[in-house]
């Protein structure tokens, strides 16, 4: 069976160290691929540090994988050795429930539900292990094709950060003539600005400070606001058709709702730790919508990758080695990354 060099963590307060894990030989409909790059998503950190409940240790996180196919099963039709492929947040689902049939495998309600790329149990009953590793075996239906024009290191973060923003922007109508605000400009937000602008919307960033303003404008925003400046949200009352919030810390939800036009939608993709207080009057009085969104299905993820290629979009990344993961986690928490750390797995065998 294929052996992978991986970086694993043993406890919520542990540090990542190098180890070896075993992957499955590809079954008839499975693909084994060599992972070249894996993005570090804030979700990896929440999970590894036990902030979302007990994790299954030793844990190999990583749900933004990009690499090259090494081997395919006998019945694989969609992929061949040498293809550029990616895997996002999940590697399997029932395939038969209403959501799976609708291409929304991320909401699978079948037996076993959506099988996440790490910290879950696979169909084989073994714990899943993510992208901080040199190879992985995945069912072909859960793989995406990475367009040739997107470098693999910049493609990896699209598999979570890209689809997390693409899906709500498309569903809630980012388009020419619409005013869209992206709240927070980290790993998620910097993709949201680019994608919303490419969809033709007029894009504003609502950030904590102005420290990333030049980048925001380079990504396609025409307006940039800092909530650390008093009165910012009040000055934006009834300005936007759509606001997508990527903030996972505490935020002024009621203030943001009041920035929506009549009938506008605020879509939250962040997962704040604490409950929020919601004043329903802000929704009722202007027929506004408050919604959530979580990644996207495989077909939509492929559509997002093709959209990014067509419009020349990609993640802005800082490439690091395996030994840098611990340090990178601290920097992500401190917002000291522009805009995604991506692990180069070729450093695992140094």
Residues within the interface to Zn ion (CB under 5 A): 41, 43, 93-94, 97, 100, 108, 110, 160
- Nearer Cβ to Zn ion (110/173): 110
Sign of CA dihedral 229, 235, 239, 243: positive
Q: How many residues does the chain have?
A: 350
Count CA atoms closer than 13 A to 25's CA, side-chain side.
Answer: 3
Q: How far is the CB of 17 from Zn ion (least distance, A)?
A: 22
Supply φ then ψ for residue 256, to 5 degrees: -70, -40
- Nearer Cβ to Zn ion (115/206): 115
Q: How far is the CB of 338 from Zn ion (least distance, A)?
A: 17
Q: Which residues pair with 138 in a beta bridge?
A: 31
Report how far apart the first and last C-alpha atoms of the chain are (Å, whole number).
22
- Nearer Cβ to Zn ion (103/255): 103
- Nearer Cβ to Zn ion (81/299): 299
Number of neighbouring beta carbons within 10 Å of residue 21: 18
Of 331, 323, 317, nearest to 7 (Cα)?
A: 323
Q: How far is the CB of 60 from Zn ion (least distance, A)?
A: 15
- Nearer Cβ to Zn ion (97/175): 97
- Nearer Cβ to Zn ion (187/220): 187
Number of neighbouring beta carbons within 10 Å of residue 6: 28
- Nearer Cβ to Zn ion (47/134): 47
User: How distant is the alpha carbon of residue 26 from its chain centre?
Assistant: 26
Q: How far is the CB of 52 from Zn ion (least distance, A)?
A: 12
Q: How far is the CB of 108 from Zn ion (least distance, A)?
A: 3
- Nearer Cβ to Zn ion (43/248): 43
- Indicate the pairing of strand 260-268 with strand 289-292: parallel
DSSP string, 227-294: TTSTTHHHHTTT-EEEEEE---S---HHHHHTTEEEEEEEEE----SS-----THHHHTTT-EEEE--
CA 150 to each of CA 85, 101, 157, 252: distance values in angstroms, whole numbers, following the listed order: 11, 29, 11, 36
Q: How far is the CB of 71 from Zn ion (least distance, A)?
A: 27
Q: How far is the CB of 38 from Zn ion (least distance, A)?
A: 11
Q: Which residues pair with 85 in a beta bridge?
A: 67, 145
Q: How far is the CB of 99 from Zn ion (least distance, A)?
A: 6
């Amino acid at each position: 069976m294929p052996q992978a060099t991986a970086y694993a963590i043993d406890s919520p307060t542990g540090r990542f160290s190098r180890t070896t894990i075993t992957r499955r030989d590809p079954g008839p409909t499975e693909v084994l691929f060599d992972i070249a790059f894996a993005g570090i998503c804030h979700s990896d950190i929440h999970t590894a540090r036990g902030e979302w409940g007990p994790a299954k240790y030793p844990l190999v996180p990583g749900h933004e994988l990009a690499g090259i196919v090494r081997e395919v099963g006998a019945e694989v039709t969609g992929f061949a050795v040498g293809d550029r492929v990616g895997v996002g947040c999940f590697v399997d689902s029932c395939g038969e429930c209403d959501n799976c049939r609708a291409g929304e495998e991320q909401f699978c309600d079948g037996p076993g539900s959506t099988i996440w790329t790490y910290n879950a149990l696979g169909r084989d009953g073994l714990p899943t292990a993510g992208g901080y590793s040199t190879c992985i075996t995945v069912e072909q239906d859960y793989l995406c094709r990475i367009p040739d024009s997107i470098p693999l290191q910049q493609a990896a973060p699209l598999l979570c950060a890209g689809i997390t923003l693409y899906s709500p922007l498309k569903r809630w109508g980012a388009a020419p003539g619409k005013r869209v605000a992206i709240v927070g400009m980290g790993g998620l937000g910097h993709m949201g600005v680019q994608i919303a602008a490419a969809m033709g919307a007029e894009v504003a960033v609502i950030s904590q400070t102005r420290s990333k303003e030049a980048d925001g404008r380079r990504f396609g925003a025409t307006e940039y606001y800092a909530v650390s400046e008093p009165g910012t949200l009040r000055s934006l009352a009834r300005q936007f058709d759509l606001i997508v919030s990527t903030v996972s810390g505490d935020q002024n939800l009621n203030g943001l709702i009041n920035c929506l036009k009549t009938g506008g939608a605020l879509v939250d993709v962040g997962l704040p730790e604490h409950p929020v207080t919601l004043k329903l009057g802000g929704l009722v009085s202007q027929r506004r919508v408050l919604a959530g969104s979580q990644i996207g299905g495989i077909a939509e993820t492929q559509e997002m990758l093709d959209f990014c290629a067509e419009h020349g979009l990609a993640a802005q990344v800082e490439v690091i080695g395996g030994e840098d993961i611990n340090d990178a986690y601290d920097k992500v928490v401190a917002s000291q990354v522009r805009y995604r750390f991506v692990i180069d797995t070729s450093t695992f065998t140094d």
